[in-house]
Amino acid sequence: RHSRRRLRVRIFYHNLNLLSDLSKVYSLDHNQTTMGEKKSSSFVFIRDPVFGWRPAIQEGVQGDKAIVNVPEFKDEQSMMGAGDAKKGQMGQVNLKDYHAGVLPLQNVDALGNLLEFADMVKLPYLHEAGILFNLKKRHVMGMPYTRTGDIVIAVNPFQWFTELYTENKRKYYSNKLVWEESEQDPRDGLEPHVYEVSSLAYKGLAFGGIDQSILVSGESGAGKTETVKIAMNHMASVQAGPQKIDLLAEDGGAQDLDPVVQRVVDSNPLLEAFGNASTRRNDNSSRFGKYLQLQFDNQNKGGMVTTSNCNCRLAGSKCEVYLLEKNRITVHDPEERTYHIFYQIICAPQNIRVAYWEKLKDVNRDSFKYIGPSANKKVEGLTDEEHYEATVKILALVNVTGDKLKMLFRAICVVLQSGNITFGPKNGDKDQSEITSLQAVADMADLMGCSTEDLGLAFTERTMKTRTETYKVPLSANVATDAVDAFAKEVYGKIFLWVVQEVNSATAAETNYKGGGQENFGIVGMLDIFGFESFVRNRFEQLCINYANEKLQQKFTEDVFRAVQLEYEAEGIALAEISYDDNTDVLDLIEARTGVMAMLNEECIRPKGSDFDFVQKALKQNAKSPCMLSNKTDRMSFGVHHYAGKVMYDAEGFVASNQDTLPTDLEDLMYKSTNDIVSKKPEEPAAAGGGRGAPKRQKSNIVGSTVWNKYKTQLASLMANLHKTSSRYIRCVKPNMKKKPNLMEHIPTVEQLRCAGVVAAVTLARSAFPNRLDNSAVKFRYSSMWDKKAFPSKKTDSMTPEQACSCDAEAILLGTLECKEYKNKEGETKKAFVTGKTKSFFRAGAIEYLEANRATGLDSQAVTIQKLGRGYVTRKRFRDLVHGAAEREKAEREKNAREAQERADKFAKEKSDRDQGRSSRKTDLEARIKALKQQSEEADEYKTQKIQEVSDRKAKAEEEIEALREQTSEDARKALMEPKKLAAQQKKKIEENTKLIDYLKKENKKIRKDNDKIKTKYDVVKSNNEKLIENNENTGENFDDLNESTGQVHQKNEDLTVTLEKAKKDNKKLKERCMGKQEEYMSQAETRLEYQKSMARILNMIQDQSKEQQLVEDTVVIALECEAEAKAIMAALEAETGDGI
């Protein structure tokens, strides 16, 4: 019972603390409102001229002014939520400068900490500042991708996150989004990713049978090209079907791609070599638009497709290119570079360069005007030489090898060499020109396979035609130089288109898939096109680019409108609530019959058309257009109000840029070339809808249609293809101009969001209802403002929880937003909100009003809770007065008993540890004594063995001595027969043996002494060992003494071991000396035996041959004396030897 009471007390105090926190967060104060001023703290965004948007805290409102506290931040990067910032200065902002007269609210928690959302559709307050700071938060956290409905925003991190692009990550997104069945949105719970777009595009084609397109846009350096490569590589992976994720394999167990798929994937970098360049903003900037169509063999198209029978396989690809930036060929910014392929051929190995053209020997960048001096920089981590090797490998992959490869690089050399041709006045006449670089033009003629005369005439003269005659007009040096530049641009344009055609020939499914002949492939198109551009000086190219973005924005708006329409229908909201503005006015201004580009085409056709006349006609014809802008101080400029903002265009050079055609002389010169790429005639693009396109002027020396007509035709064809597909969008954003990771600059990022149409999409999506909240959130946040008696809920018991929550939310909002209702032009009353099935949608200003007043009903609830809390505290104090002393005494007794028990447990534990330690030491000593006893027994056994060995050697020696004694006696007998001379020698030998015997006697005495010492020490050890065993029997009480005795025994045993080892060594040395002496004695005995034999032979010979009897008798006597003397010596030797041994 007491425990339950304590639990209730803890719960109460927990709730009381929560109430206190809420009171601090929402500033509950009965004196919050004063006369003429409305105070309510809210976390908001305000505009800033330096940072675009910055966080602030709205403290109150005075009329049309908002009182704000602007926190201080260290720098722009540290600007996140206002909760952790230092309090700054107070100020006022004009609410008239903000939409609907309210400041945009921050998406923060109760403490002002910025929240991040993977899907910005879930942002409670979705507006430009909210999008900016949500992207910034995720960018700093290392999350480059963010979702906005079906749009993925990719912020360039300027670093590579390996963990985002592993093979396992590819398989995970493929399995989740394509191959696993789910009744809900499969993206729920998944982080946004490029793989999400590619997976859903494949799924739409494979399972829905609808062609898909992925539109990637963004400014230079935002990562468009890299994003397209990532998506394309994943598309090639996802078509392999469901795959098992291998967590142990390196890189997730990447598999080899099919050769066709590999060719499609690898051919993409080839176009980068010929169409990309290094700019101030990006080292690998695409200078052309590209629409890559991945072709799939969708065998189950039209039937019932499931994950088990899906068989949609990548079969090939085709690529279309748009608006290559040709001006970069002849001139580029000193800090930038021209196209990569020029640097690659210059940095190729010299033997390879010379094989293409012998004049490339010992050349560098300064050798060609079009390249010029530039820094040696790596592009994507590789040098130009390494990129050249990669380019040649990919060219071989698309069957460009041998003569075709040489023809390609010689055509590139034609472009490079064109820049080295120079001109000067001819014979002092500035109106005429001649070539001054004779060697350069000779080299050029060699490359092209034509004569120098043809080159000179084509570059210095212009052929003019009339109805009746044809004549030549000389060109000035400047005009001739322009003609060469135009020639180089046209040749490179042909080279680029030729490369594209070769890639298509090698990758197109119609000719390469299953032997060719198959048609009607499924398409997943991937559009990588230039983003909206607005510079200090905008030219013809910017107008074309921005026109393309206007067309894409129109489709983007239509797709977003359809998405909003589906959302409103799902929530049960009337579609009449949606209204939006499209960009039809801008498109009409540019492409209509009397539009800007029509006026430009007219000036290009007119014989004396000029840029000035073009501007004046365009302004006059479109004066009533709301999107046409004029500059009264500059008559050569005009402006267009695009969806992304106002852009002023400098019309200088518009007419010349739109023509972009060659004189017939230069075109004929190309036809004379032996290089097939240079001499190939250009193919006119087909008009959209199968039309014939713009008519040609037959009488002009300018051939072909205008650039605008070609571009418009291509774009119309592209848009027609896109409208046949289900489109998905990836908007790439460059967060800062410094190319640094984890840094986001506000103003450039906001401008890109506007140019990408993200802000426009948000404006459209929330044109009627800018803010929305889940009905459960409405009920939780604003229930304190609900007057249930005046506005009861319409829910019933039969309703589902979702329906009941919707009824509650509607009842709450009816009462709280009644004051925000208004009447439209038709006199109809419009509510400030609409409640759907799961969400509530709010008009502008409604959510801000609720947030400002949500604390109104909390004070009465706080008083009720405080009343209950104070009563409980008072009762608790009274109980403490009555029962406190007893409880304290009981607690003290329990404490003392607990401490006594702890001490007893501690003592028992210490005693147990001591006993265990003694037992462990005793066991160790017994083991050591046993080991010592075993060592002693082994020593005894060893000693016995050694004594036995010595005894055996002694017995053997005695036997040898006995044998020697017998041999010596025999030898002595025989020696008596030898002459006296031999007897003297024998005597000398016997003396030496005597000395040897003396030495052996001494050594034997030493051995006996050492043996006695060993016996003595052994007796001591044995005695000590017996004492030790006797002491061991009395162990148990005095382990310290036993341990000391054991140490002494151990020390004595070590001394005995040392002595024993020394004796062993001495014994070994003595044995070696004995063996040596024995060998010497045996040698002397053998010598003496030979002497005796000789003496016996001499005696026998004398007895047999001598005739003098006296001589024979004397010799026999001497021999007997010698034998007797030898016997006496041997007897003495035996006596000494016996005593010594």
Cα pseudo-dihedral 31, 36, 42, 47, rounded to 10: -160
Contact 266, 230 (CB under 8 A): no
What residues contact residue 280 under an 8 Å CB cut-off, 6+ apart? 333, 335, 336
Which range in 281-295, 359-373, 823-837 is most confidently predicted, on average pLDDT? 359-373
CA proximity to 205, closest of 299, 291, 320:
299
Percent of the chain with pLDDT over 90: 28
Bridging pattern class, strands 829-830 and 822-823:
antiparallel
What letter does residue 99 receive in the DSSP assignment?
Answer: G
The DSSP secondary structure of 911-933, one letter per residue, reads HHHHHHHHHHHHHHHHHHHHHHH
- Does 18 have pLDDT greater than 60? no
- What's the CA gap between 480 and 462, in Å, rounded? 9
Place of tokens 């009003």: 849
- Does 1093 have pLDDT greater than 50? yes
**Tokens standing for 262?**
């590999």
**Tokens standing for 1137?**
């030897």
What is the average per-residue pLDDT within 163-179? 90
- Does 506 have pLDDT greater than 70? yes
What residues contact residue 709 under an 8 Å CB cut-off, 6+ apart? 601, 693, 694
- Does 29 have pLDDT greater than 60? no
Give the pLDDT of residue 31. Answer: 32
Lowest-confidence pick of 213-222, 338-347, 1031-1040: 1031-1040
What is the average per-residue pLDDT within 248-277? 70
Residues β-bridged to residue 42 = 58
User: CA of 494: how far to CAs of 552, 673, 828, in Å?
Assistant: 27, 13, 64
pLDDT digits (tens, 9 = 90+) for 528-537: 887 788 888 8
- What's the CA gap between 522 and 314, in Å, rounded? 9
pLDDT digits (tens, 9 = 90+) for 741-795: 999 999 999 988 887 777 767 666 666 676 778 888 888 888 878 888 888 888 8
Q: What is the sign, positive or negative, of the torsion defined by CA atoms of 179, 182, 185, 191?
A: negative
- CA-atom Rg of the chain in angstroms: 55
Instruction: For residue 439, name the pLDDT band (cuts at 50, 70, 90).
Output: very high
**Mean pLDDT taken over the chain:** 81
Place of tokens 């120079």: 422
Give the pLDDT of residue 692. Answer: 39
- What's the CA gap between 557 and 215, in Å, rounded? 13
What letter does residue 686 receive in the DSSP assignment?
Answer: P
- Edge-to-edge strands, sheet with 212-217: 145-148, 151-155, 726-733, 212-217, 522-528, 289-298, 312-322
Percent of the chain with pLDDT over 70: 80
pLDDT digits (tens, 9 = 90+) for 844-884: 678 767 876 776 666 667 788 888 888 888 888 877 777 77
What residues contact residue 555 under an 8 Å CB cut-off, 6+ apart? 719, 722, 723, 727
- What's the CA gap between 994 and 968, in Å, rounded? 14
Instruction: For residue 412, name the pLDDT band (cuts at 50, 70, 90).
Output: very high
| Main-chain phi, psi angles of 673, to 5 degrees | -70, 145
Place of tokens 């060697």: 439
What residues contact residue 976 under an 8 Å CB cut-off, 6+ apart? 1095, 1099, 1116, 1118, 1119, 1120, 1121, 1122, 1123, 1124
pLDDT digits (tens, 9 = 90+) for 198-221: 999 999 998 888 899 999 988 878
Instruction: For residue 137, name the pLDDT band (cuts at 50, 70, 90).
Output: very high
CA proximity to 340, closest of 352, 329, 324:
329
- What's the CA gap between 809 and 791, in Å, rounded? 11
Contact 651, 615 (CB under 8 A): yes
**Tokens standing for 95?**
């609410």
- What's the CA gap between 1119 and 1041, in Å, rounded? 79
CA 509 to chain centroid: 33
- What's the CA gap between 341 and 269, in Å, rounded? 12
- Does 1100 have pLDDT greater than 50? yes
Length of the chain: 1141
Residues β-bridged to residue 119 = 147
Contact 668, 659 (CB under 8 A): no
| Main-chain phi, psi angles of 695, to 5 degrees | -70, 150
Please, what is the Cα angle at 388 between 383 and 394, to 5 degrees?
130
Bridging pattern class, strands 52-62 and 38-48:
antiparallel
What is the average per-residue pLDDT within 562-572? 76
**Helices marked H in 724-800:** 746-755, 758-765, 775-782
What letter does residue 108 receive in the DSSP assignment?
Answer: B
- What's the CA gap between 460 and 943, in Å, rounded? 122
pLDDT digits (tens, 9 = 90+) for 779-792: 888 887 888 888 88
Q: How many CA atoms lie within 13 A of 452 on its CB side?
A: 11
Contact 88, 104 (CB under 8 A): no
Give the pLDDT of residue 1034. Answer: 61
Give the pLDDT of residue 596. Answer: 94
Contact 553, 645 (CB under 8 A): no
- What's the CA gap between 22 and 28, in Å, rounded? 8
> Three-class SS of residue 815?
helix
**Tokens standing for 13?**
């105090």
What residues contact residue 743 under an 8 Å CB cut-off, 6+ apart? 77, 735, 736
Place of tokens 């600059």: 745
Q: Which residue has the higher pLDDT, 307 or 840?
A: 840
- What's the CA gap between 1140 and 1119, in Å, rounded? 31
